[in-house]
Amino acid sequence: MLAMLCSVSSMAATNDTTKQRSNWIMEHDSVMMATRNTQDDTTRVVPTSLSLSVQEAQDYAVKQNRSLRNSSLAVQQAYAARWQTIAAMLPQVDASYSYSNYLGYSATMSTAMGDFNIDMPNQGALGITASVGINGQAIVGVLLQNLAIDMQRLSLEQSEDNLRASVKTSYISILVLQDVVKLLDSSLQNVNDIIEMTQRTVQFGVNEQTTADQIAIRANSLKNNIQSQKRSIQLATNSLKVLLDVPAETELTLTSSLDELLSGEEVMALLGEEFIKEHNLSYRQLEKNFEIAKMNVHMAGWAYGPTVGLAYNYTNQQYYGEGGMRMTPPNVVQVSIKLPLWSSGKRAAGVVEKKIALEQARNTLAETADQLNIQYQQLRFNLQNAYETYLTEQENIDVATRVFQSVSNKYRFGTNSNLELINASNDVISAQSSYVQAVLTLINAEVELDKFLK
């Protein structure tokens, strides 16, 4: 076991330690840069207006969002924690100095020849100690820290994907609602024209006031719907500003069009993309959990291993006055090895516990691999169904708008009743609501499948 420990220690010292030292400078600089960025955040210049495509909005959010920057800092923390573990296995050097004043005290030594007084002069002692200690658990600890860094990176990647998805959803929601408001504004203008015409016919006794009032009620419903959609636009815009981490007063201009973002080609390409479970973030995280569980078994096993230590101690003792005895050697080298012998089954129970946890992680990984294939098929079905529903609702809102225009024109010429006009207006509002829901469902389905395949 000692030979194994020395072999592992040698590899760690030559392969890992030198590499870590060379990388530590860059990692340390990254930590410092991240810290400076956080400190300077309160003074950063935010533009009063932004014109962004959906891709630019996603990139801007990734750069500016504070929550994502916290995830990035967590990665840097993991690097710093790993270096602390490595440094604990490297030589540790300490220096000390002590001064003693015995206030004129003299020590008495009794011998067969009589008692002798020994003066105790003031003294100072300079000591330097260099030591290094290593065991198997420390080496496995470094490997665990590497896995912890990988886990933080995966968490950062997942946070970035979620942020990009949220930005895209908010962005498209604003565009959809803006289109709906334009459609409703056009319908309201048409209804207002009909109200004016109907009021004139009422004055000449051709129609009753009830007819004009019924149409006015429909106009008020359209106005309320328009105001509701405008409030929804403001809410979605505020949500987007939060994701972009910009002040509420910043003016946002969205340069991407809805037709570009609701491309059938992109949907078909996504549906045709092959699922590779090793690319899935959830699966990759579970793989890392499984590797951590294996390392924990090794960590528990190395509780039986020895701890090897090497130390050098230098002492320079100086007397300020006559007398004194120099009993402390100036140079001392110590080599130690500590072997655990008996723990009443504590270490054995620790190994059993970690092996059980490893088996649990293995079962979870295998179960997740099977579930991911089923989830992939479900997400593909959701996207395909959402896209087909979107096409249907898009056609429905076009048809409802055309029917409303036709009924409105016929009503002007007296060939349609006000009831038919009201029904056509209701159809437009219903189609608009279904269309908005269909678009949001499509975007969510597309985002979920895209994240799943990464």
Any domain includes 13: no
390's CB contacts (< 8 A; 6+ apart) are: 262, 438, 439, 441, 442
> What is the spatial distance between Cα 443 and Cα 389, in angstroms, rounded to a whole number?
12
Question: How far is the CA of 317 from the CAs of 116, 328, 394, in angstroms?
Answer: 23, 8, 92
The answer to whether residue 219 sits within a structural domain is yes
Single out the residue of 354, 373, 445, 438 nearest to residue 179, CA to CA: 438
Is residue 318 in some structural domain? Answer: no
Its domain, for residue 295, covers 50-92+134-307+345-453
Within 8 A by CB and 6+ apart from 347, the residues are: 300, 303, 304, 340
CA geometry: angle 298, 293, 448, nearest 5 deg: 155
Angle at 190 between CA 184 and CA 193, to 5 degrees: 140
- pLDDT at residue 30 in the model: 45
Q: The CATH number of the domain where 55 resides is what?
A: 1.20.1600.10
Whole-number pLDDT of residue 336 = 93
Secondary structure of residue 342 in the 3-state scheme: coil
Q: Which amino acid is at 106?
A: S
C-alpha to C-alpha distances, 439 to 3, 300, 305, 366, 370, nearest whole angstrom: 66, 54, 62, 36, 31
Query: What H or E segment, with its residue span, contains residue 208?
Result: none
């002007």: which residue's tokens?
A: 412
Pairwise CA distance, residues 278 & 272, whole Å: 18
**Contact indicator for 256, 171 with CB cutoff of 8 Å:** yes
pLDDT of residue 152: 92
Asked if residue 384 belongs to a domain, the reply is: yes
Using an 8 Å Cβ cutoff, are 139 and 301 in contact? no
User: Quick one: which of 154, 160, 171, 157 has its CA closest to 55?
Assistant: 171
Residue 321 in domain: no
For residues 74 and 151, the answer to whether their CB atoms sit within 8 Å is no
pLDDT attached to residue 297: 95
Run means of pLDDT, 10 residues per run, the chain, 454 residues: 36 39 41 43 69 93 89 91 92 93 76 73 90 92 93 92 91 89 83 80 74 81 89 93 90 89 84 88 92 94 92 88 71 93 91 95 92 92 93 91 85 74 81 87 90 86
pLDDT at 7: 38
DSSP state of 16: I
Q: What pLDDT sits at residue 62? A: 92
In a domain, 21, yes or no: no
As a 3-state breakdown, the chain gives helix, strand, coil percent values, each rounded to 5, of 70, 15, 15
pTM above 0.75, yes or no: no
In this structure, is residue 436 part of a structural domain? yes
Would 200 be classed as within a structural domain?
A: yes
443 within 8 A of 176, measured Cβ to Cβ:
no
| Angle between helix 264-272 and 346-412 (nearest 10) | 150
What pLDDT sits at residue 83? 93
Instruction: Count the domains in the chain.
Output: 1
